[in-house]
Amino acid sequence: MYLKRLEIQGFKSFANKIEMNFEQGFTAVVGPNGSGKSNISDSIRWVLGEQSAKSLRGSKMEDIIFAGTAKRKALGMAEVSLTLDNSTKMFPLDYNEITITRRVYRSGESEYFLNKSSCRLKDIREMLMDTGIGKDGYSIIGQGRIDEILSSKSEDKRQVFEEAVGIVKYKTRKEESEKKLQNTTENLDRVKDILSELE
Ligand code: ATP
């Protein structure tokens, strides 16, 4: 699995549509200060479901939409598509390429797509769980993240290792099942109360 393509339009400094094709192996993005290198990695984290404007270096999610310049007016929408190679079938989908798309409008409305079909953020999160690629995955190490991992609490460090060994999916499913079980137990108690009142 590797990143194959990144398409950005209206995201931060990228007003015009740009397309970057990555080859297998090592890719370096170089450029002068302020030219948008970090905006590229921000766009990858964003398309993978990042919900925190602060971690994308903004104060609100609208800040990720191209805000305009002296020569060009602001845009109303940002869209990023990330294509992942799936020839090894790392993701349980019958496609050799998987394209994740996220779109946001100034109104705050947000949309997600998997191979151009509309989907929920939950679907994307579940697909990426335990691959290390998700927004909290260890495959995106931002500036200061290593220090953060080294100095963080042992429970936080554990999360990084759990993602690496591939058990986050099962932990999440277990938590969901426990929640359902608790709701069912509460409902059952309520039914028992009603039944005893009727008797
Ligand atoms: P450095 O090497 O200094 O870390 P960089 O190449 O990583 O720089 P970025 O931080 O990615 O640069 O890009 C910063 C630029 O992006 C700034 O010029 C900033 O004005 C621009 N920018 C950020 N958000 C927006 C936005 N919403 N609309 C337009 N431009 C934006």
CATH number at residue 119: 3.40.50.300
Considering the domain architecture, whether residues 112 and 172 belong to the same structural domain is answered as: no
Residue type, 49: G
Rounded CA Rg of the chain = 21
Ligand 1 mutation target, pool 6, 8, 11, 13, most atoms within 8 A of CB: 13
The residue whose C-alpha atom lies closest to atom 30 belonging to ligand 1 is: 13
- Classify residue 158: in a domain, yes or no: no
pLDDT range class, residue 7, cuts 50, 70, 90:
very high
**Amino acid at residue number 163:** E
Residue 50 has pLDDT above 80, yes or no: yes
Residue nearest to atom 1 of ligand 1 (CA): 33
User: What does the block give as tokens for 128?
Assistant: 């990426």
Structure confidence at residue 52 as a pLDDT band (50, 70, 90)? confident
- Both 119 and 172 in one domain: the answer is no
Q: How many domains does the chain divide into?
A: 2
Res 165: pLDDT: 75
Residue where one domain finishes, among candidates 111, 135, 159: 135
Predicted local distance difference test score (pLDDT) of residue 138: 67
Domain of residue 47 covers 3-135
> Is 153 strand, coil or helix?
coil
174 is in an annotated binding site: no
Kindly state whether residues 173 and 89 are assigned to the same domain.
Answer: no
Residues with CB under 6 A from ligand 1: 12-13, 31, 33-39, 63, 65-67
- 33 annotated to bind ligand: yes
On whether residue 153 sits in a domain, the answer given is no
Give 163 Cα–ligand 1 centroid separation in angstroms. 30
Give the residue-averaged pLDDT of 10-21: 96
Looking up tokens 């946001």 gives: 104
100 and 190 co-located in one domain: no
Determine the pLDDT at residue 136. 66
| Residue 156 within any structural domain of the chain | no
Instruction: Give the pLDDT band of residue 135 (cuts 50, 70, 90).
Output: low
Q: Are 71 and 13 in a shared domain?
A: yes
31 C-beta neighbours (distance < 10 Å), count:
9
- 36 labeled part of a ligand binding site: yes
**Model confidence at 95: pLDDT above 70:** yes
User: Between 170 and 16, where is the model more confident?
Assistant: 16
Same domain as 184, residue 117: no
User: Global pTM?
Assistant: 0.80
